Structure 1
Amino acid sequence: MIKSDTLENTKDFRISVAPMMDWTTKDYRFFARLFNPNIILYTEMVTTGAILFGGANRHLDYNHEEHPIVLQLGGSNPKDLATCSKMAQDWGYDEVNLNVGCPSDRVQNNKIGACLMAEPDLVAECIAEMQNAVDIPVTVKHRIGIDDMQSYEEMLHFVDTVAKTGCHNFIVHARIALLQGLSPKENRDVPPLRYEDVYRLKQERPNLLIEINGGIKTFAETQYHLQHVDGVMIGREAYHNPYLLAEIGQLWNLDLPDRFEIIDQMLPYIAQRMQEGAPLSIITRHILGLFQNLPGARKWRQALSGGNAKTFADVENAILNIKEAMKRTEDYLIKHQVQS
């Protein structure tokens, strides 16, 4: 396993891909790693109950290539969170993160996610227990506010309360969450972004490591935010347009990879996963955005998501089908004189 100091090798800033339910699976994370060796990858949020009672292997296993990788936990029982944090460390995770930002009704009912912002003392107790259980970093991802707690001062009180435990890394989604009035999807778009609140938090608490999240879609935006905070977490754009992760590699002076070479590197992994019993469509759904913003994007998506791409169960034919999709896309790009 990679040592827990993996995260210390990323200069003086952090770039990460947000935890996203049903999206940041181990198949997506393997794919994302091919674009950039330095970005920090997060699992989907995993509840403590799922780990303790639903099979640890199923929820904790990952590919060695995914490092640096963070396990995000959902829960509010300090003892259970401590137990799962220790399991994460034993599994080789580089860091563990507590979700205090998810606005889903389902997790609210179990006192998980953004609703915990109303209970900073409980969150502090959870973080303290988690830190006592492990040597790897323990971090918090939260909103700038919820419902009637929308002021900067209330967010600052939350952060200060948790920081007293010794936790110094906060990932801040720069939107409030309206738990009673909006759906989870609406809570990702409707409340306005208040980046200035996150900037102010860093200014007033310079000893804390503050990362910003929410609505960030370009390399230029990432560069701008890094002038004000210590890190940038990118969400849906990193999934729909994964080549953005390659573009962000310029922060480390990395060369831009060729998209077709990335798929060539992905093919052995796809074959291995299919041999393990994974349906082809479960894997290829994560790579549909490879050519996003290029003229060949639609051709690529059609080739992978239509026709036989969903039904091939034979590994050899599945790989052949993907190679044919690559050839058709490459021919289209050459015809239109587009650099891949």
Structure 2
Amino acid sequence: MSARNEPASVPASTPLLDVRDLKMHYPGAGGWFKPRRKVIQAVDGVSFSVAKGETLALVGESGCGKTTTGKSVLRLIQPTSGSVRLEGEEILALTPEQMRSRRRDMQIIFQDPYASLNPRMTAGDIVGEPLQNFPGSGGRSRQDEIAWLFGKVGLRPEAMKKFPHEFSGGQRQRLGIARALALRPKLIVCDEPVSALDVSVQAQVINLLMDLQQEMGIAYLFVAHDLAVVRHISHRVAVMYLGRIVEIADRDTLFSRPLHPYTEILLSAVPVPDPHKPAQRKLLQGDPPSPANPPSGCRFHTRCPLAQPVCREKQPALADRATGSATGQHWVACHFR
């Protein structure tokens, strides 16, 4: 990731987004002659908040529940239980009609910059579709607004007549960003928005997102597994393991002084750019447990180097273990940290 301006600091205030004890459980498959399998606990009791203009990154292994959390927050899928408040309003209690008006404030950038775009629509129609669904979102005419959005994400207005297959991967993702910006949202869920792009293009898109955040005050819930990207763009980081958050801290504190053993192992896997500096990697033992049959107590105890009998018996609470972090809070779910 190329050097660029640091994320602007976010003042402490009432959170824009407040998520409490969010759960998303899927019923297991069954059949006429087969008993229904155990419930799949994709997300199981996740709590966090995001302030206006802040970027909170959700990181963890594939399958830990990051994307499911983001989609549940937006009600693209209906959570099993929990609370999701946007500016103090309970999103999960809204009717479909009430939720539609809230869609202006909550948007998403999808991971795949090609599959998320309709190949039969022109780029201009794709970006302008939200303006058609929610007329009166801006002071300009619809075509002028689309041209303004194209310029905002670094695309030429002449490209409005092209189809998605005529763009590069990075340009297609810029289209996705422009579409998400069309209604001037307050929160955007970024679902691994640069994982499908080349490294050089990743840097351009990440820097674009940061510039847009500083200019428009947008908050990001940034789902990712690339810790170099996370370190560049985030203000705070939440680490997920098997459907639960095990650590939350501001970016600098988490990368310099991680407390949870799982976070330490994740950070040790980040490549070191200095060929003369030996890598000090810590390897995870075994395979991740199934969310349909999670371990008792601490879900990480089957792979944790610090595991003791209490870890198998009791689930650790997410508690503040502040050790001089910038925000004064460093939440960790571990019996020994």
TM-score by length of 2: 0.39
The structure, 1 or 2, with the larger RCO (C-alpha pairs under 8 Å, 6+ apart) is: 2
Greater fraction of residues in strand: 2
